[in-house]
Structure 1
Amino acid sequence: PTIAYNTITDDRQENLDAEYKTPLSIAVGLEYMIVPTTRVAGTIEWFAEQALYQVMTPEPKEMLVGRSSDKIAVNSQNYLKVEDAADDVVNFAIAVEQAFNNQYKGYLSFRTDFSTFNLNQEETAYISNNLDIYHTTIGITRKSKESELAVGLTYSFGHQDHLLRPVNLDPLSAKSETDFLFTSPGETSAKYHALGVIVGYTYFFK
């Protein structure tokens, strides 16, 4: 069988302006003392939709794509532009603070980080994350007259069965001469796991 080997000509451009937009967000929170030693807090935050926009646009230059025997000319401004968009989402968090004595307090929390990835745009947004991620945190603080020490762990996890795959880096696939990076889109699955360590120290100046 015939195998087509794709090659890409790099159009290096420097000192390009970039603009990244963050959507409007509105948050409300509430803290409630169940008993003098136990407090519960919660918050909810809404993020507005962000329409498709160009983060960075290269200068219009001609670049060649394809095999050395049959390359085609394309415009860098069309192929190498960076775009982003975001759907509106609502995230929430809840936490519990438990005082064990005058020195030690324990904390337990859970919060969401839902994806703002926009699947309804005509163009694909390449910056936005397509995973809904959940975070759980547990920690403890020790307070003295002069300072406060806090230590904790954060575990984050997420899973997506239908992750959009706009790029397919497979040079051995049999493709036409005009194929570029984005000609074999599809779906894949992904898992996300992360563990973070929290250490904080506060010194009280007299």
Structure 2
Amino acid sequence: MSKIFITFLCLVLFLQGVKAQDANYWSSSYNPAGFLTPGAVIAFNRDSGVMFLNPALLAYSDKSSASISGSIYQYGNIKIKNGAGTGLDLKSTTASIIPQMISATISLKGKHPFTVGYALTHNPVMSYQVTQQRDAKFNVLNDSYSPGNESFLGQFKRLNSINETSGIISGGFKASDHFAVGISAEGQLRKQSFNSDFSSRALYNVNTGGLSLPPIANAEESYLASYFHAGIKFKAGLSYDADRSHLGLTISSPLLHLAGSANILSDNELNNIRFAGDTLNFLANSRQQKLKATYKMPLSIGFGYAYDVKNGQIYFAAEYFNKVNEYNLITPHDGNFVKGDVPVDLFASSSLKFKDVRKSVFNFGIGASYLLQPDVTGFLSLHTDFNYADNGLYKDDDGYAANTAYYNIYHCQIGANIKKRKFNFRTGLLLSYGTTSKYMQYVNFDNPNENNTLAGDPINTRASNFSVGLMLSYIHNL
């Protein structure tokens, strides 16, 4: 067991994360409807895996066991069509290998049997990186001072990387012949790095004569935010079993804050941009260290029902997540960060905040298992993964939203389990797809001009996400 544990930790430290989503609660594998993944259920499914999502199900595990699960190979693709203008798509592609979870149970015999389970999970929530550029000659600046077409160069870059590592300890026991109860505690370490850069330049179309160079209208915006946050949440579980029917219920507390720290680096600049008869020259920047970081997860309630059929089982799961009111993941120090003597007040506390808000979400899924051979069981499951991000819930447009994904995702799992006396081996495919036609651009290089400070007028466009992964899981009976 110690060798397995050490190997897992080494792999986690040295391998890169796979692509998932940053505004969806149910991932492709570890969720209450992830029927293929060992223990990813709320109601008792007679599985040989390690129970960890509903701690009450530990009461049915009368053998000590250990499990390693992971997406051995996963490919993911996010495409935002015309994300920075017509023909300027934003694409982010990832192909990675990484283990994701190690877990074990210890069955304590005696007059009142009790089972303890623990798990170490690694969830690469998001690995997003896009760049785009428009280099063309067209009419950008007003003809009154720059007649004709100008040479224009616009560039956009955005990166968003999120990783979560959690340690879970659970306990469960039978309260009666039909009821089992359990409780778990989960400590979570979350790290996020968010970088957004935009620059837009137009060369004045004037003849200065000699060696003099024409002025350049220039707009630049750069924002880098990074933080880590440590928190803890608790979960209570209940299980009821009667003949063919199996019910399960879980209640998870909001994430409680333990510690957090953040850094922000920002730079904004305008040069030679004429607006309402004036020429704008503007500089605002700030570097802030050791800021307070807070990350929130809402109260959630999960329900599961499994029904035994001949040579198999049918399973249903659902989970409700409460809303989260607007808050700052990172709150900058107050103060004006505009340089020079200008008649404008922009305060870092509002302009540089890194913020989050969430609407309530209700996810559900179905699954089925069937005994293909005496020692082979097949699995199939489908589940939703609705998006909780809604920019319309923010009080204003100040600051930066922490999310990249703004679309619902639908997941499918298909695989099989091979059961032997001392171990179980499970493998399967994890398929995910999501799309939306209301993905708002951040910049639009189709129509940059002075009135929009060379950033264009953003519009809604189409975004899509697709991923496929191969999961392997090994459960060893100790």
TM-score category, normalised to shorter length:
0.7 to 0.9
Asked if residue 14 in structure 1 is aligned to residue 289 in structure 2, the reply is: yes
Amino acid at match of 1:189: R
The alignment status of 1:33 with 2:308, answered yes or no, reads yes
CA 1:113–1:80 in structure 2 vs 1: closer, same or farther (change >3 Å)? same
In 2, the alpha carbon distance for the partners of 1:54 and 1:30 equals 37
Are 2:403 and 1:190 equivalent residues in the alignment? no
2:383 to 111, 136, 153: 111
CA distance in 2, matches of 1:100, 1:150: 14
Note if 1:88 corresponds to 2:360: yes
Q: 2:454, 2:346 → 1: CA distance?
A: 10
* Cα gap change, 1:64 to 1:7, in 2 (>3 Å): farther
CA 1:150–1:71: 2 relative to 1, 3 Å: farther
Q: Can you list the C-alpha shifts for 1:122-175, whole angstroms capped at 9, x where unaligned?
A: 33572343110000000111111111111111110001001133x2275x9223
| Aligned-residue offset at 1:98 | 0.8
Q: Max radius of gyration: which structure?
A: 2
- Distance across 2 between alignment mates of 1:44 and 1:123: 33
Distance 1:71 1:139 in 2: 64
The 8 Å contact of residues 27 and 45 in structure 1, kept in 2 or not, is answered as yes
Say whether residues 1:131 and 2:403 are aligned partners.
no
The aligned amino acid for 2:450 is K
For 2:382, give the aligned amino acid. F
Q: Distance in 1 between matches of 2:334 and 2:443?
A: 25
Q: Which blocks of at least 5 consecutive residues in structure 1 are unaligned?
A: none
> Which deviates more from structure 2 when the two are superposed, residues 70-79 or residues 139-148?
70-79
Contact between 1:134 and 1:156, CA under 8 Å: does it hold in 2? yes
TM-score scaled by structure 1?
0.84
> What secondary structure is seen at the aligned counterpart in 2 of 1:14?
strand
SS of 2:220 mapped into structure 1: coil
Q: Which residue of 2 is the match for residue 57 of structure 1?
A: 331
Q: Distance in 2 between matches of 1:23 and 1:123?
A: 22
Cα distance in structure 1, aligned partners of 2:382 and 2:454: 42
Which residue of 1 is the match for residue 419 of structure 2?
A: 143
SS for the counterpart of 1:115 is coil
Q: 1:72 to 1:139 in 2, by over 3 A?
A: same
For residues 195 and 120 of structure 1, the distance between their equivalents in structure 2, rounded to whole angstroms, comes to 32
SS for the counterpart of 1:148 is strand
- More displaced 10-residue stretch of structure 1: 47-56 or 147-156: 47-56
SS in structure 2 of the partner of residue 23 of structure 1? coil
Structure 1: how far apart are the matches of 2:428 and 2:343?
56
Amino acid at match of 2:388: T
Aligned to 1:77, the other structure's residue is in SS state helix
Distance in 1, matches of 2:343 and 2:431, equals: 48
Is the counterpart of residue 159 in structure 1 residue 431 in structure 2? no
Q: Give me the whole-angstrom Cα distance separating, in 1, the residues matched to 2:300 and 2:219.
A: 44
SS at 2:349 equivalent: helix
Does 2:397 correspond to 1:121? Answer: no
Structure 2: runs of 5 or more not aligned? 1-138, 142-201, 203-216, 222-266, 268-284
Identity of aligned residues (%): 23
8 A contact 1:155–1:196 mirrored in 2: yes
Normalising by structure 2, we get a TM-score of 0.38
1:71–1:139 CA distance, 2 compared to 1 (3 A):
farther
Give the superposition deviation at 1:14: 2.0
Counterpart-to-counterpart distance in 1, 2:431 and 2:300: 25
When the two chains are superposed, the root-mean-square deviation of aligned CA atoms in Å is 2.8
In the alignment, the residues of structure 2 paired with residue 175 and residue 71 of structure 1 have an alpha-carbon distance, to the nearest angstrom, of 19
Tell me if structure 1 keeps the 8 A contact 2:448–2:457.
no
Number of residue-to-residue matches in the alignment: 197
Instruction: Please give the secondary structure, in 2, of the residue aligned with 1:6.
Output: strand
Report the Cα distance in structure 2 between the residues aligned to 1:186 and 1:81, rounded to whole angstroms.
Answer: 24
Please give the alpha-carbon distance, in whole angstroms, between the structure 2 residues aligned to 1:53 and 1:202: 41
Structure 2 counterpart of 1:203 = 476
Structure with the bigger percentage of helix? 2
Q: Deviations over 1:37-96 (max 9, x none)?
A: 11010011111111111111111244348xxxx996632222110111111121001111
1:200 aligned counterpart, secondary structure: strand
Look up the match of 2:115.
none
Q: Does 1:174 align with 2:449?
A: yes
Q: Distance in 1 between matches of 2:324 and 2:454?
A: 28
